[in-house]
Structure 1
Amino acid sequence: MTAPRARLLPLAAEVLLALGVVSSLGWTLHFFFEFGYLPQPFVFDTNDTFMDWFNTAYWANNRGIYDVWRSIYPPMSFVFLDATSLPGCYLQSPFHARDCDWLARTTIYAFYAVDVGLAWFCFRRLDRATAPMRTIAIGFGLPMLFTVERGNLILVAFAFFMVAHGPVTASRPWRWFAAAVTINFKPYLVLPVLAYAVKRDWRPLEAAGIATLALYLATLAFVGSGTPMELASNTANWVVFQGAQVWNEVNYATSYAPFMMFRTLEMPLLQFVPSRLVETIEFLVPIVIRSTQLVALAALAAAWLQPRVLPAHRLAAILLGAYLVTQSPGGYTQLFLLFLVLMERWNGAGAAIAIVAAYLLCLVGDWPLATVLDVTSNSWLGDRSVTASFGLTAGHFIRPGLVVLIVWALALDSIVRVARAHRAHPPSLGLVPA
């Protein structure tokens, strides 16, 4: 096969995959205009649009962040929301604030535009031919649209994430600062930064760590609360609270872990799921999670031996992917993983499989298997009363499997690359890059 033809095949595949994302978006919009609400896996509370943002902003403008609301967010979130909201709108409820605070709504739209623009800039720098398709996947795919509909602060963190881990700037201090911002918004984003440790590149790891601590202390002083002890206590409380929210966890998950709580559901989901299937899930889920952790660990250990073989974004994807397979902090967190995966080139079967899986995770909508409940409420987006149907879908089972597939594909491909490099050059066990 000639080189030009070999290049055209992946390009054609990406065009088709991007068209699939656009088509799924078109179907979702058609559903919305006909029924007045967004279908699964969007949240079934049709009046809750943007409320991740406004519930948090309410406490940024009122006392009791950590002792009353018991937030698990570091102070950075409240400093940002305090600066981008109108205080007079938060004297009543968060729902009143949503209709009143035009500055906050504008900030949501603005960061969505910034995210799409930065994604285009990054992908264009990496490969002009595939940049349009990958920008479509990120900008109009399910993880981004879910994030926008929720009004989650991932919208803000993602912009800094692309600066920290993408080809936005060559300035290392700016990348360190951006990494510090992401960690202070979403602490689990420390995992991609640990890719520097695997590569034994200690200076950016130390600099990002110092910047993270400095930013945390500055925002802690500004807010006046949010100490490590408060965050730890509230996180323990949150874990207990989330244990009672199984349906929300299963609805749009990155991991099969929430499936282990199927039997505790208050809704009659077990009427629609055979008991044998539940038993199979309970048997297979721990095996899938543990084996994925092990293959990810093997890939990282191999990368430690040959730190120059794998790019930082590949190691960051494996680290973050293994975390998302272990537990599900929300489906929108896939946005970070998918960006890292779409920085890959079609170089080998592992990368190709991961890229295809990333596109599939961007498909908008779902395939219903059984309706579990009908909820009548007001739709804020549709501006009318609707009766929304929600239940078990194919995506509940497929999406976590695609995240597992990404980790396995990248990890096994990484091990193969390191093995090839090992034949040519013995591994270096020093504390500096080989």
Structure 2
Amino acid sequence: MTGGRSGHGRASLIEYALAAAVVASVVSAALWFRQNGFLPQPFVMDTNDTFMDWFNTAFWANRPGAYEVWRSIYPPLSFVFLDLFSLPGCHLSSPFAARDCDWLGQATILGAYGLNVALFWTAFRRNDRPSAPPRTIAMALGLPLLFTLERGNLILIAMPAFILAHDPLVRSPLVRAVATAMTINFKPYLLLPALARLIRREWRPLEWAGLATIALYLLTLALVGSGTPGELASNTANWVVFQSGQVWNEVNYSTSYGPLLSIRKASPIPLLDLVPSRLVEGIEYVVPLLIRASQCIALVALAGAWLQPRALGHARVAILLLGAYLVTQSPGGYAQLFLLFLALLEKWDGAGPKIAIICTYLLCLVGDVPIATIIDLNTNGWLSGRPVTPSFGLTIGHFLRPGLLILILWALSFDALARIVRAHGAHRPSLGMAPA
């Protein structure tokens, strides 16, 4: 008993130290903002674009043409929600004018942030009380959530549903099914962690979630009047082409090395003038192999989880599914918020979870270390309300952050395989229904 308490104490001290580093990075970013009038990298270099993920979408929620004119890739639920939580009279001329007028939208953004923090605390406290304070601090003040807040991205709304869907805060199968349906209808890539129930052969919850997802989509489709599967597929193809010309925005805060690999081909940035050619060539050779290896190790662990459905918990399987996707391609750096939440549901027990938890804290650090400047701007800072002269360029974080996500995936995949092997030694693989 004494040894267990001592190990737990060491874990708490380490996590509190890491959380203190996150707080220090936030203070440093705040001081930077106070001095310069804009947020440091990797926050978006368009300093006049704060909250515009929200208000660009809300603008089209208040008029026809979201799919035909704006070519949105969001399912209809986003437009139904934003139509409810916006003031129609503010969305007449432009999204930027709406941002300054629509107090309901701004209040909803801040309220969603507060709700996320409250749910983080509740989930972590129920999962493991000693580690709940530092983990809540890291998630509440860490870069992923602050970046999401600055963008006003709808992940702020999807995250509470994600917590209810993937953490045992609620026991009602109906509530979990509806929460899962909301996550998928807000962010379709969240279908992947929802498939954890398929891997664990939890058929009834999977059926409920599938029916709820389809029902919610059909209901919101009827309310919006557009956003059919054909429109979403066509607009997604158009978005992929558009993003190929916006590589720098993708590289700036990414979950994957994919955008960095394409920067020489799809961007006018003279990369070889900024970093040694051997480094670039090494990255171009090693990174594709690393991504494929990461996919393979995750798939092997998932196959083992299928054979031994009791060996891994729901959150671990969800991490493997979502992590394999995020290290392959990036839907935006803020998407890692879902993965990091799941990683902090792990116990401080074993090398794999410990590595994953430490990497999670490191990914929550705010700010970056510049390597070379690419662009200097003269623009306005909406948050500071004054002209600013930001400089942006390559940073250490562009190379480290995707690597930390890969390390999380590898650490938890190998730990999962070890657990599966132990479970295999205890009983034969299950090929039928998963135990209740």
**TM-score for both structures, normalised by structure 1:** 0.99
What's the counterpart of residue 319 of structure 1?
Answer: 321
| CA distance in 2: counterparts of 1:306 and 1:373, whole angstroms | 52
Q: Are the counterparts in 2 of residues 269 and 372 from structure 1 also a CA contact under 8 Å?
A: no
Deviates more, 1:290-299 or 1:277-286: 277-286
The yes-or-no answer on 1:202 pairing with 2:195 is no
| CA distance in 2: counterparts of 1:239 and 1:41, whole angstroms | 22
Measure how far apart 1:267 and its partner are: 2.9
Measure how far apart 1:294 and its partner are: 0.2
Measure how far apart 1:7 and its partner are: 1.2
Deviations for 1:89-109, whole angstroms, at most 9, x for unmatched residues? 111010000000000000000
- 1:2 partner SS: helix
Deviations for 1:347-368, whole angstroms, at most 9, x for unmatched residues? 1100110010011000000011
- 2:130 partner SS: coil
Matches within 5 A, 1:327-366: 327-366=329-368
| CA distance in 2: counterparts of 1:331 and 1:133, whole angstroms | 22
Flag structure 2 segments of 5+ consecutive residues without an equivalent: none
What's the counterpart of residue 218 of structure 1?
Answer: 219
What's the counterpart of residue 52 of structure 1?
Answer: 53
Deviates more, 1:71-80 or 1:265-274: 265-274
AA at the equivalent of 2:305: A
Measure how far apart 1:330 and its partner are: 0.3
Matches within 5 A, 1:252-291: 252-263=253-264, 264-291=266-293
| CA distance in 2: counterparts of 1:266 and 1:66, whole angstroms | 30
What's the counterpart of residue 414 of structure 2?
Answer: 412
The yes-or-no answer on 1:19 pairing with 2:29 is no
**TM-score for both structures, normalised by structure 2:** 0.98
Give structure 1 regions of 4+ aligned residues with deviation exceeding 6 angstroms: none
| CA distance in 2: counterparts of 1:333 and 1:407, whole angstroms | 15
Deviates more, 1:108-117 or 1:163-172: 163-172
AA at the equivalent of 1:110: G
| CA distance in 1: counterparts of 2:5 and 2:162, whole angstroms | 34
AA at the equivalent of 2:238: N
What's the counterpart of residue 228 of structure 1?
Answer: 229
| CA distance in 1: counterparts of 2:226 and 2:143, whole angstroms | 35
Measure how far apart 1:13 and its partner are: 0.5
Q: Are the counterparts in 1 of residues 158 and 183 from structure 2 also a CA contact under 8 Å?
A: yes
What's the counterpart of residue 114 of structure 1?
Answer: 115
Q: Are the counterparts in 2 of residues 199 and 307 from structure 1 also a CA contact under 8 Å?
A: yes
Measure how far apart 1:275 and its partner are: 2.2
The size of the alignment, in residue pairs, is: 434
- 1:130 partner SS: helix
Measure how far apart 1:198 and its partner are: 0.7
Measure how far apart 1:166 and its partner are: 1.4
Deviations for 1:192-251, whole angstroms, at most 9, x for unmatched residues? 110001111111111101000000000000000000000000000000111111101100
Deviations for 1:259-278, whole angstroms, at most 9, x for unmatched residues? 12121312333320222222
Deviates more, 1:272-281 or 1:84-93: 272-281
What's the counterpart of residue 167 of structure 1?
Answer: 168
Q: Are the counterparts in 2 of residues 259 and 281 from structure 1 also a CA contact under 8 Å?
A: no
What's the counterpart of residue 376 of structure 2?
Answer: 374
| CA distance in 2: counterparts of 1:110 and 1:394, whole angstroms | 33
Q: Root-mean-square deviation (CA), in Å?
A: 1.0
| CA distance in 1: counterparts of 2:3 and 2:342, whole angstroms | 29
Measure how far apart 1:167 and its partner are: 2.6
Give aligned-pair identity as a percent.
62
The yes-or-no answer on 1:34 pairing with 2:35 is yes
1:387 corresponds to which of 383, 386, 389: 389
What's the counterpart of residue 136 of structure 1?
Answer: 137
Q: Are the counterparts in 1 of residues 263 and 269 from structure 2 also a CA contact under 8 Å?
A: no
What's the counterpart of residue 432 of structure 1?
Answer: 434
What's the counterpart of residue 149 of structure 2?
Answer: 148
Q: Are the counterparts in 2 of residues 199 and 433 from structure 1 also a CA contact under 8 Å?
A: no
AA at the equivalent of 2:197: Y
What's the counterpart of residue 6 of structure 1?
Answer: 7
1:309 corresponds to which of 308, 311, 316: 311
Q: Are the counterparts in 1 of residues 356 and 412 from structure 2 also a CA contact under 8 Å?
A: yes
AA at the equivalent of 2:58: A
- 2:371 partner SS: strand
What's the counterpart of residue 96 of structure 1?
Answer: 97
Measure how far apart 1:417 and its partner are: 0.5
AA at the equivalent of 2:9: L
Deviates more, 1:323-332 or 1:168-177: 168-177
Q: Are the counterparts in 1 of residues 298 and 320 from structure 2 also a CA contact under 8 Å?
A: yes
What's the counterpart of residue 246 of structure 1?
Answer: 247
Q: Are the counterparts in 1 of residues 309 and 434 from structure 2 also a CA contact under 8 Å?
A: no
Measure how far apart 1:299 and its partner are: 0.4
